[in-house]
Amino acid sequence: MLGDQAALVGEALEGGMLACVGLGLEAGQGRSTTPCRSHTVQKDGRDVGRKIRSYVGRHSESIMTHPPGALRSASRRSGMSSGDTAERSLEHWSEAGRTGMEAFYALATEDYHQLALAADWPALLAAHAHDGWSLLDVACGSGKFPTALRRYTDLSAVPEVAYDLLDPSAFSVAEARGALGAPFVARHDLVMTLQDLPADHTGYDVVWATHALYALPPAELDAATERFVAALAPGGLGLVAQATEASHYIAFYDAFRAGVREATPYTTAEQVRDALIRAGADVRDQRVTYTTSTSDRLVAEGFLQRCAFDDSVSLEEMEAAPVLGDYLASCRDESGSYTFSHEAALLWL
């Protein structure tokens, strides 16, 4: 997340990059968060989730039959660090990881563009506004979501809101603070995890976590979602946007773990949804599908390295790896261009 200076995908893109807007799919009924503007529907958008699920099924079988010794030897050959998913994620959210972050967002900024188009945000935010209202951005990263809202929606009628930034990375909090603009007014910097949020941080009118909880340790998921629910004021607006098990981010990392290195899997939208329900939340599940594409191998490499929080393995090594190579082949056309299929769940509270 690079702030307002970042070129958001969906505008005129250079280097062979292309973002295709997909089809927003509702998994619930009757809420004012349905898209308020028309989307360009990709021709085969309805098949995206089905095609990924088909791959995931084959991939699961490959994981079951893949020799554990081969996984360990592949990891040693690549010279990768020994850190697990959460540790590597935090290491990459740093000044040292800025180059990788910029490479990732050459494509991944489209995630936030899609979220900005998925609801009538000016109306939603205005409906929750009042004197002294506040918003908590959970695992804020570097501010891509508020930047996308300001770029792709008209927030001019939304009153200023006190905006608290929560992230375990001080680098991320500083980046996000620098990216904010009206109506978002930075207030507290909370350099901590969601599960460590003090119990007195409650009463927020809006709480959101957008593509933010992938590296959350499974054993801490319930504690984190309990804090998320507790932080939201009665009648407030809550949103967790997360990739589903049918999406590129999850399928890629599962294949990476099977073919390159053992690691804790990413947390899926389905797991977050179930944990929110266990925490007492009434959750509505909205789905959006879309694709991101590039014909530039350097762009693809940087994007995929960040998807794994591992910049020590090249695109060529990924393509040659067991399991992962098969997955990447399914994303690559005859010309060598890559298209990655995404399905995001918007979990509304």
Residue-range domains of the chain with CATH: 3-348 (3.40.50.150)
pLDDT (0 to 100) of residue 90: 56
C-alpha 231/C-alpha 81 separation (Å) is: 36
pTM for this structure?
0.78
Nearest to 10 by CA among 107, 128, 149, 89: 107
Cα separation, 18 vs 52, in Å, equals: 20
Dihedral sign, CA of 20, 21, 22, 27?
positive
Q: What is the pLDDT of residue 281?
A: 98
- The three-state secondary structure class of 138 is strand
8 A C-beta contact, residue 229 and residue 280: yes
Nearest to 303 by CA among 50, 4, 16, 41: 16
pLDDT the model gives residue 96? 58
Distance in angstroms (rounded) separating the CA atoms of residues 347 and 349: 7
Do residues 349 and 232 make contact, with C-beta atoms less than 8 angstroms apart?
yes
Place of tokens 């990891």: 75
Other beta carbons less than 10 A from residue 60's beta carbon: 11
* CA separation for the pair 321, 38 (Å, rounded): 40
Going by C-alpha positions, the residue among 315, 234, 220, 330 that lies closest to residue 272 is: 220
pLDDT at site 104? 72
Mean pLDDT by 10 residues, the chain (349 residues): 33 36 39 34 37 46 41 38 60 56 78 96 98 97 94 98 95 93 98 95 98 93 98 98 96 96 94 98 98 94 91 95 97 96 98
What's the distance, CA 151 to chain centroid?
Answer: 19
Residue type at 43 in one-letter notation? K
Choose among 207, 298, 219, 305: nearest CA to 260. Answer: 305
Tokens representing 122?
Answer: 């000016």
Q: Which helix (DSSP H) or strand (DSSP E) does residue 109 occupy?
A: helix 98-117
Predicted pLDDT of residue 95:
61
Under 8 Å CB-to-CB from 170, ≥6 apart: which residues?
Answer: 189, 191
